[in-house]
């Protein structure tokens, strides 16, 4: 090596120092960049929280105003009956000892009525329910209920169909239970004060939900 090349060659200690300085600078820049991003996330989260609180305050104010207005309107309607088509949206239910007043009347899909169970109604299905619950004889209970389902009394036929579907459902005969509930839904008669169609539709919905949740 010529003397000039040896003289121009940087010392190893200087290269090491430069490398360390560069490494420290890069680490410092990375640290400050990470801190800056973290602070920006915190600030953005605070802004989002403030926006949510402002939205909640607006919703609460609107709801409070609407409830106050509705309360004043209902108070006026209690003093003097509202027009036949009021309210324009929703339903107005007025419960008195004499019954329930509905305005507008056609919007209420189902209005419960007073129902009193009688000893005669209970006795009709006593044999089948004893076979079903006390003796756990599902097949004989089904035969008893099916005989009652042929009754000319719509209430008895509906009660029997509901019990037939119940026994089939407990026995795991889901498709047959669905068919019984579908037949029950076609009857326009109440069971214990509840429309038969409503009972059947609710049971069919439960069966469909159970089938959807079942593992495959």
pLDDT at position 146 is 95
- Rounded to 5°, the CA angle 103-104-109 comes to 100
Calculate the CA 135 to chain-centre distance.
Answer: 37
Least confident of 57-61, 142-146, 192-196, 208-212: 208-212
Which carries the bigger pLDDT value, residue 145 or residue 38?
A: 145
Across the chain, what does the average pLDDT equal? 82
- For 86-116, the pLDDT digits (tens) are 777 777 777 777 777 777 767 777 666 665 5
Exposure pattern of 54-79 as b/e (b: 16+ CB <10 Å)?
eeeeeeeeeeeeeeeeeeeeeeebee
Looking at residue 186, what is its pLDDT? 93
pLDDT value of residue 98: 72
In which region does residue 151 sit, left (phi positive, over 0), alpha (psi from -120 to 50) or beta (all else)? Answer: beta
Report which of residues 154 and 2 the model is more confident about.
Answer: 154
Specify the pLDDT at position 93: 78
State the pLDDT at residue 129.
93
Listed range (8-17, 43-52, 93-102, 195-204) with the worst mean pLDDT? 8-17
pLDDT at 33: 82
Other Cβ atoms less than 10 A from the Cβ of 94: the count is 14
CA-CA distance, 167 to 145, in Å (whole number)?
10
Token duo for residue 31: 């640290």
pTM of the full predicted structure?
0.54
The pLDDT tens digits for 59-88 are 998 988 888 887 887 777 767 767 766 777
Give me the mean pLDDT over the 146-165 stretch: 93
- Whether residue 3 is predicted with pLDDT greater than 60 in this model: the reply is no
**Contact (CB, 8 A) for 174 and 203:** no
């Amino acid at each position: 090596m010529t003397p000039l090349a040896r003289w121009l060659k940087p010392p190893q200690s200087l290269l090491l120092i430069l490398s360390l300085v560069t490494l420290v600078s890069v680490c410092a820049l990375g640290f400050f960049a990470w801190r800056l991003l973290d602070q920006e996330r915190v600030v953005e989260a605070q802004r989002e929280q403030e926006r949510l609180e402002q939205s909640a305050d607006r919703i609460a104010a609107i709801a409070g105003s609407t409830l106050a207005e509705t309360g004043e309107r209902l108070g006026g309607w209690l003093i003097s009956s509202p027009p036949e088509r009021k309210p324009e949206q929703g339903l107005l239910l007025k419960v008195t000892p004499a019954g329930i007043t509905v305005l507008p009347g056609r919007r209420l899909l189902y209005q419960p009525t007073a129902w009193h169970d009688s000893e005669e109604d209970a006795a009709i299905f006593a044999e089948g329910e004893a076979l079903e619950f006390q003796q756990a004889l599902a097949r004989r209970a089904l035969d008893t209920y099916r005989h009652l389902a042929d009754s000319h009394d719509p209430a008895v036929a509906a009660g029997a169909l509901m019990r037939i579907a119940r026994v089939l459902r407990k026995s795991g005969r889901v498709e047959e239970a669905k068919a019984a509930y579908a037949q029950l839904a076609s009857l326009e008669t109440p069971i214990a004060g509840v429309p038969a169609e409503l009972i059947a539709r609710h049971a069919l919905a439960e069966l469909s939900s159970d089938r959807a949740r079942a593992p495959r």
